[in-house]
Amino acid sequence: MKRSIRVSGPITQTLLGCMAFAVTLFLIVPVLIIVPTSFSAGSFLAFPPPGFSLQWYERLLERDVWAESAWLSIWIALLVTLASTVLGTLGAFGLVRGSFWGQRVVLAFILSPLIIPGVIVAIAIYFFYAQMRLVGSPIAIAIAHTTIAVPFVVINVSASLQGFDRRLEMAAQNLGASHWDTFRLITLPIIRPGIFAGALFAFISSFDELIIALFIAGPRQVTLPLRMWESMKSSLDPTLAAISVIAVSISVALFFTSTWLQARAKRRTEALTETLVGGDA
Amino acid sequence: MKSLRNPGMLLIPLMAFLLVFYLLPVFLMLLRSAGEGWSFAPFVAAFDSVVTVKVFVFTVKVAVGVTLLTLLLAYPLAYFIVTTSDRMAALLMAIVLVPFWTSILIRSYAWMVLLGRKGVINELLTWIGVIETPIRMLNTTFAVYIGMIHVLLPFMILPILSALKGIDGRLVAAAENLGAGPASVFRHVILPLSMPGVIAGSVLVFVLALGFYITPALIGGPQDMMISMLIAQKVELYEWPEASAIAAVLLVLTLAALALVGRLISIEKVLGRATG
C-alpha cells in the first residue's frame, strides 16, 4: 500500500476533521435548504416551520409559463448537446491523435470559453448577432451555448482517449478487424463513457446558462434560467425553491449516473486489456 | 482511424465553428473598442469616469480577498481528504462536487433564502433568542464574499487535492527518519510539494472571480458593482464602444493573470478531474 503523507497526530487530525466538516457543511447546506423551503406552507421558510404543503409545486404546474420555459431550455440544451458532442468528439480525436504545430495553443483556445468572463463572450456574441439580425431565435441561443459547452466534451473525450491503450486497436487489427470495425467494437465502447460525461456536461451547461441568454434572447425566448432570474429580481416566493429542487435532483441524478458509468467502463476496459494484451495498462 | 493521413484534420469542423461564432465576435468587439480611426476614444471615455475606476478597484479587491479566503478553507479540507479513510474521502468528494453540478443561479437563490431579512439564519437566531431584530446580511459585500466563496471553493480544492495526492509518501517517511517533527515535515516537504496545486487553484479562482456577474448582481448591494455588471449596464444604455473598451481591459487582465503562471493547460486537468 502507498505510504500516506499524513504527519498530523490524533489531536491535529481531529481538529482538521472538524474544519473539513464545517467547510463541507458550508458547501452543502445552501443546496439542501431549498428542499424544506419548497415544501413550506408559508410564503417563506420560518422557524419553527409553518407546516408542510405542496402548494408551490402545484403552482408550478398551474402556471404554464414555467413549463414553456422549461421546454424551451430543454430543447435548446438538446440541440447544444448534439452539436457539441459531434464537434467536440471529433476535435478531441484530432487533438489527441493528431500531431501538428501549435497543438497547445489550439487546446488553450478551445478551452478558453470556460475561463474568459461570461459577460465578455455574451456581449461579443450579442453585438455580432445584432449586426446579423440573429437576436431572438432559439437556434441562435443554441449556437452561442455550443461555444461554452464544447470544451466539456473535448476535456472528457480527450481524457478517455489519453487513458486508452492503443495496443487494443492493434490487437483487433492483427486479428483481422477493419478500421471501421476496430472503431466500432474497440475504440467507441472504451471512450463512450467519456463522450457520455461530456454530453451530460454540455447539456447542463446550456440548461443552466443565464448570461448569454440574458443578452441574446428575445422577449419570446424566455429560457428557464431567464425566468428564474426575472422572478428572483421581483419576488422570492418558494415557487423558485420548487423549481430548484427539481433541477438539482436531475443534476445530482445525472452526476451519480455518470460517475457510476465511468467506474463500470474503467473496470471493463481493464478486463478487456488483460484478456487481449496481458494487462500492464 | 489510420485511414486518415493526419487525424489533426478532425479538428477542422470545431475550429471553423469557433472561429466564426466565438473568435470573430470577440475580435469585432475589440475592434469596436478601438473607436473610429483608432482613436481609442472609448477607452478614454470609459476610464475617465470615477465609477469605472472604483468598480475596477473593488473587483480586484474582492477577487484577491475571495482567493485568499478560499485558499484558507480549501487547503485543510484537501489535506484531510488525502489523509482520511477512503470511504470518508469519497463522501467528502461527493459533497464537494454536488454543488458543482448545481447552477449558480440556484445557489444564489439559496443564499437569498438563508441570508434574507426574513431568511433562515435571521429567523433561527431570533427563535433561539440570540438577536431581537434581524441582522442585515443580504445585499451586502459580506453576502457577495460568501456567495462567491461558495461557488469557487471546488476550483481551489481540486488542484490542491491532486497536488497532495501526487506527493510520494516515502519522502515524508525519509524526512521523519531523519528526525524531522510533524510541523517541520509539513513545512519543508508537504507544503512546498503542494505549491503547484496552490498556485493553479489560486490563479483559477482569481480569474473566475474577476468575471463574476450573477452572484454579486443578485445578493450584493448597490455599492457592490463588479466589472461584469458595469459592462452589462453600459450595453443596456447602448454605450457599446465603452462597454467593449471595459470588456477589452477585463479580457487583458484575465489573460495576463493566466499568462503569469503560464499554463492554461492545467485548467484542463482541474476540470477533467471535476468531471471524471
Largest alpha-carbon pair distance within chain B? 76
Is the model's pLDDT at A201 over the cut of 60?
yes
Is the model's pLDDT at A84 over the cut of 90?
yes
Residue A245 lies inside a defined structural domain of this protein: yes
- Using CB atoms and an 8 Å cut-off, which of residues 242-271 of chain B contact chain A? 243-244, 247, 250-251, 254, 258, 264-265, 267-268, 271
Per-residue cell: B99 = 454543488
Task: Determine whether B135 is exposed, middle or buried from the number of CB atoms within 10 Å of its CB (0-12, 13-18, 19+).
Answer: middle
Grouping H, G, I as helix, E, B as strand and the rest as coil, residue B109 is helix
Q: Alpha helices, DSSP H only, in A39-165? A: 55-62, 64-97, 103-111, 118-132, 138-162
Would you state the pLDDT for residue B265? 45
Tell me the mean pLDDT in the region A76-87. 98
Partner-chain contact B272 A244, CB within 8 Å: no
Task: Quickly state the pLDDT bin for A48 (edges 50, 70, 90).
Answer: low
pLDDT tens column, A212-225: 999 999 888 999 99
According to CATH, the superfamily of the domain at B49-275 is MetI-like (1.10.3720.10)
Residue A183 lies inside a defined structural domain of this protein: yes
Per-residue cell: B198 = 496552490
Nearest neighbour of A107 by CB, restricted to B12, B244, B268? B268
Would you state the pLDDT for residue B274? 47
**Spatial contact of A207 and A84, defined as CB atoms under 8 Å apart:** no
Report the residue of chain B nearest A13, measured CA to CA.
B80
- Using CB atoms and an 8 Å cut-off, which of residues 182-221 of chain B contact chain A? 182, 185-186, 190, 204, 207-208, 210-214, 218
Query: Is A26 part of the contact surface with chain B (CB cutoff 8 Å)?
Result: yes
Task: Quickly state the pLDDT bin for B264 (edges 50, 70, 90).
Answer: very low
Which residue has cell 478551445?
A110
Is the model's pLDDT at B228 over the cut of 80?
yes
Nearest-CA distance from B220 to chain A in Å?
12
Nearest-CA distance from A275 to chain B in Å?
23
Tell me the mean pLDDT in the region B147-165. 95
CATH of the domain at A211: 1.10.3720.10
Query: Is A124 part of the contact surface with chain B (CB cutoff 8 Å)?
Result: yes
Which residue has cell 451530460?
A200
Task: Quickly state the pLDDT bin for B271 (edges 50, 70, 90).
Answer: low
The residue among B15 and A41 whose pLDDT is bigger is B15
For B139-187, the DSSP string reads TSHHHHHHHHHHHHHHHHHHHHHHHHHTS-HHHHHHHHHTT--HHHHII
Nearest neighbour of A98 by CB, restricted to B11, B76, B103? B11
Domain count, chain A: 1
Partner-chain contact A252 B98, CB within 8 Å: yes
The residues, ordered by sequence, that sit 6+ positions from B182 with a Cβ below 8 Å of its Cβ are: A7, A8, A9, A12
**Spatial contact of A118 and B213, defined as CB atoms under 8 Å apart:** yes
Radius of gyration of chain A (CA): 23
Chain A to chain B, count of Cβ pairs less than 8 Å apart?
A: 314
Nearest neighbour of B105 by CB, restricted to A12, A90, A229? A229
Query: Is A226 part of the contact surface with chain B (CB cutoff 8 Å)?
Result: no
Partner-chain contact B231 A119, CB within 8 Å: yes
Residue A38: list chain B partners with CB under 8 A. none
Query: Is A53 part of the contact surface with chain B (CB cutoff 8 Å)?
Result: no
ipTM of the predicted structure? 0.89
Is the model's pLDDT at B270 over the cut of 60?
no
- Using CB atoms and an 8 Å cut-off, which of residues 31-90 of chain B contact chain A? 32, 73-74, 76-77, 79-84
**Spatial contact of A216 and A181, defined as CB atoms under 8 Å apart:** no
Name the residue among A197, A209, A252, A207 with its Cα closest to residue A75. A207
Average model confidence (pLDDT) for chain A?
87
Residue B218: list chain A partners with CB under 8 A. 232-233
Name the residue among A187, A186, A191 with its Cα closest to residue A157. A191
Partner-chain contact B11 A106, CB within 8 Å: yes
Residue B29 CA: distances (Å) to CA of A62, A173, A184, B2, B24? 43, 50, 43, 41, 9
Is the model's pLDDT at A114 over the cut of 80?
yes
Would you state the pLDDT for residue B124? 86
Name the residue among B158, B145, B166 with its Cα closest to residue B200. B158
Is the model's pLDDT at A117 over the cut of 60?
yes
Residue B73: list chain A partners with CB under 8 A. 23, 26
Which of A21, A35, A40, A120 would best serve as a mutation to test chain B binding (most B beta carbons within 10 A)? A120
Single-letter amino acid, residue B120: V
pLDDT tens column, B126-144: 888 888 888 999 999 999 9
Partner-chain contact B169 A45, CB within 8 Å: no
Is the model's pLDDT at B272 over the cut of 70?
no
Partner-chain contact A146 B21, CB within 8 Å: yes
The residue among A182 and A263 whose pLDDT is bigger is A182
Query: Is B238 part of the contact surface with chain A (CB cutoff 8 Å)?
Result: no
- Using CB atoms and an 8 Å cut-off, which of residues 125-184 of chain A contact chain B? 125-128, 143-144, 146-147, 150-152, 154-156, 158-159, 179, 183
Parent domain of A267: 68-277
Per-residue cell: A5 = 503523507
Distance between CA atoms of residues B118 and A267, nearest Å? 50
Would you state the pLDDT for residue B269? 56
Grouping H, G, I as helix, E, B as strand and the rest as coil, residue A138 is helix
The residues, ordered by sequence, that sit 6+ positions from B76 with a Cβ below 8 Å of its Cβ are: A16, A19, A20, A23
